Amino acid sequence: MIKADHVTKQFDGRAVLDDVSAVFETGKTNLIIGQSGSGKTVLLKSLVGLHHIDGGNIYYDDVCYNTLDFNHKKEIRKQVGMIFQGGALFDSFTVEENVKFPLDVFTDLSEEEKLDMVNETLKRVRLENAHKLYPSEISGGMVKRVSIARAIVMKPRYLFCDEPNSGLDPLTSIVIDNLIKEITEEYDITTIINTHDMNSVMEIGDTIVFIYQGKMWWHGTKDDILMSDNEELNNFVFASAMAKRARKNM
Amino acid sequence: MFVTKILGEIGNYMLLMQKVFRRPVKRRVFTRQLMDEMEKLGLNSIGIVAIISVFMGAVVALQMAINLESPFLPKYLIGYATRESLILEFSSTIVALILAGKVGSNIASEIGSMRITEQIDALEIMGVNSANHLILPKIIASIVFFPMLTLMSMIMGVLGGYFIVFTVDMMTPDDFMTGLTSDFRPYLVFYGFTKMIVFAFIITSVSSYYGYYAKGNSLEVGRSSTQAVVSSTIVVLVFNVILTKLFFNY
Ligand SMILES: Nc1ncnc2c1ncn2[C@@H]1O[C@H](COP(=O)(O)OP(=O)(O)OP(=O)(O)O)[C@@H](O)[C@H]1O
Ligand SMILES: [Mg+2]
């Protein structure tokens, strides 16, 4: 479980996160939704410790994370996997080397054992014929898969995904979404996903936090979301025609 | 205002260096990075340094021959003066300035694009000290390799001079040879190497600093890479004066 407790974050005096509190549960896919620029990425990066927060606290299973010193943070970070909005694969490494990198740095396994784990993980994300290619040589969907593989190869306890399916076609998006959900349930980890894709919300949204202008505006499940009378949330949700139709049919 | 800005930059640079000079987590990973950097920063600079040294050696010898044209000056002085200018300034300082342009911009843009594509964040999330992982191998590779480039430049420069003396027929190659070998002080070669070691550190660390703190988009990365070249050039020149004063104790 990860908990944000009255988190605030400012850039140059401008509040980007304003008193955000939320609980993200273990074994579930927890979604953060909101318009572009609402602060989703900043929230995710604050949770994971890439941004220094200006107020509030962040808990990882009862450990107050933001006040830990570097070495203790490092111990937690070894249990964290993150999928970045742009993939953030290492350009100078092949697909295989990218996925192997965390193993190289943090384990004393033999080369064969590491390659076995890499193969297994790449198979897990259904990517089997790209081991020797460089990130510039693979498609956007493949980049996301490699990125997922690199994030889960160490079997993390916490998984953060920043728009895992942005820029992908609807079919590939659903495959990626379901992959993340599958992994979350199988490993019983805490997964937090940023998205502004309503398809993802309806597909895998176990818990949903709606961020509006840096504030925690609404939270609930995908079953509540269509019934809410929150105006800003409805504007966001029913911007897509599909969701409108879904509501009519209820 | 200007002074406080510079002091601020120096402070940030020092803080970064503090992160850089830590023990690498895994020796194997470090060795691999080091080999890569040796190739990128060192081997790939051999060509340009060799070409420039041959031509500069030739021009210096030619200029010496033209300007020392006098019945009162012994001919071998041309060889002597050529050797001294190569050893004292050209093969260390001028070669360092060339490397600041080539290697400095390369380092700043490489690290800068890793920054803006979140590859550095990805390292930090894994619990890797990104400054140490990315910058230390570059510094060590250049400190080891650049003095070898200096040595090569000295040799190529002398060869260039020797060659021009053959072709333009202003003096006998024997006279030139006598000049090259007369009153040879190994201390000056040592001085050239020491300068180059300091310059190597300056070029790689200053350029890394500009890349590491790049933000924004690819335009900004281009800008910080220009800034890296300008700043490392200036710092090299300042330290050239300081080191010369220290070495010759004037
Ligand atoms: N490093 C930064 N410095 C200053 N302002 C920032 C920084 N990072 C983000 N912001 C600001 O914070 C706000 C929220 O940005 P954020 O990236 O979190 O949006 P987002 O919800 O992830 O949008 P998108 O869906 O487009 O990715 C924006 O107004 C942005 O300008
Ligand atoms: Mg974002």
Best CA proximity match to B95, nearest among B44, B161, B154: B154
d(CA B120, CA B212): 9
Contact A132, A96 (CB under 8 A): yes
Contact A71, A87 (CB under 8 A): no
pLDDT at site B15: 96
pLDDT at site A250: 66
Residue A59's beta-bridge partner residues? A3, A64
pLDDT at site A240: 66
Contact A196, A202 (CB under 8 A): no
Structural domain boundaries enclosing A61: 2-248
Q: Which ligand is nearest to the CA of A37?
A: 1
pLDDT at site B176: 83
Tell if the CB–CB gap between A105 and B117 is shorter than 8 Å. no
Which chain B residues are Cβ-neighbours of A85 within 8 angstroms? 118
**Which token pair is A34?**
């909101």
Instruction: Work out the angle at residue A224's Cα, subtended by the Cα atoms of residues A222 and A228, and round it to the nearest 5 degrees.
Output: 125
Closest residue by Cα to atom 2, ligand 1, is A11
Specify the length of chain B in residues. Answer: 250
Query: Any idea which residue has 């994030």 for tokens?
Result: A151
Specify the length of chain A in residues. Answer: 250
Residues in contact with ligand 1 by the CB-under-6-Å rule are A 11, 16, 34, 36-42, 196
Tell if the CB–CB gap between A105 and B29 is shorter than 8 Å. yes
Which DSSP letter does residue B169 get? -
Contact with chain A for residue B114, Cβ under 8 A = yes
Which atom of ligand 1 lies closest to the CA of A43?
18
d(CA A105, CA B134): 13
pLDDT at site A170: 86
Which DSSP letter does residue B1 get? -
In CATH, what number is assigned to the domain containing residue A36?
A: 3.40.50.300
Q: Which ligand is nearest to the CA of A195?
A: 1
In this complex, how many residue pairs, one in chain A and one in chain B, have their CB atoms less than 8 Å apart? 55
CA distance A50 to chain B (A): 7
Q: Which ligand is nearest to the CA of A236?
A: 1
Low pLDDT (below 50) residues in chain B: none
Contact B112, B221 (CB under 8 A): yes
CA distance B201 to chain A (A): 23
Contact A53, A66 (CB under 8 A): yes
pLDDT digits (tens, 9 = 90+) for B210-249: 999 998 888 999 999 999 999 999 999 999 999 999 988 7
- Residue A50 is nearest to which of B113, B114, B124, comparing CB atoms? B124
C-alpha A40 to ligand 1 mean position (Å): 8
Contact with chain A for residue B226, Cβ under 8 A = no
Which chain B residues are Cβ-neighbours of A91 within 8 angstroms? 113-114, 117, 119
DSSP chain A: -EEEEEEEEEETTEEEEEEEEEEE-TTSEEEEE--TTSSHHHHHHHHHTSS--SEEEEEETTEE-TTS-HHHHHHHHTTEEEE-TT----TTS-HHHHHHHHHHHH----HHHHHHHHHHHHHHTT--S-TT--GGGS-HHHHHHHHHHHHHTT--SEEEEESTTTTS-HHHHHHHHHHHHHHHHHHT-EEEEEE--HHHHHHH-SEEEEEETTEEEEEE-HHHHTT---HHHHHHHTTSHHHHHHHHT-
CA distance B18 to chain A (A): 14
* Pocket residue to mutate for ligand 1, from A11, A193, A212, most atoms within 8 A of Cβ: A11
pLDDT at site B201: 98
Contact with chain B for residue A11, Cβ under 8 A = no
C-alpha B247 to ligand 1 mean position (Å): 52
d(CA B238, CA B72): 37
pLDDT at site B168: 78
Q: Could you list the pLDDT tens digit for every one of the 250 residues in chain A? A: 999 999 999 999 899 999 999 999 999 999 999 999 999 999 999 999 999 999 999 999 989 999 998 888 888 998 999 999 889 999 999 999 999 999 999 999 999 999 999 999 999 888 888 999 999 999 988 999 999 999 999 999 999 999 998 878 888 889 889 999 999 999 999 999 999 888 889 889 999 999 999 999 999 998 888 888 888 888 888 876 666 666 677 6
Contact with chain A for residue B29, Cβ under 8 A = yes
pLDDT at site A190: 96
pLDDT digits (tens, 9 = 90+) for B160-185: 998 888 887 777 888 888 888 888 88
Looking at the structure of chain A, the number of domains it has is: 1
Residue A157 phi, psi (nearest 5): -95, -20
CA distance B110 to chain A (A): 10
The burial class, CB within 10 Å (0-12 / 13-18 / 19+), for B113 is: middle
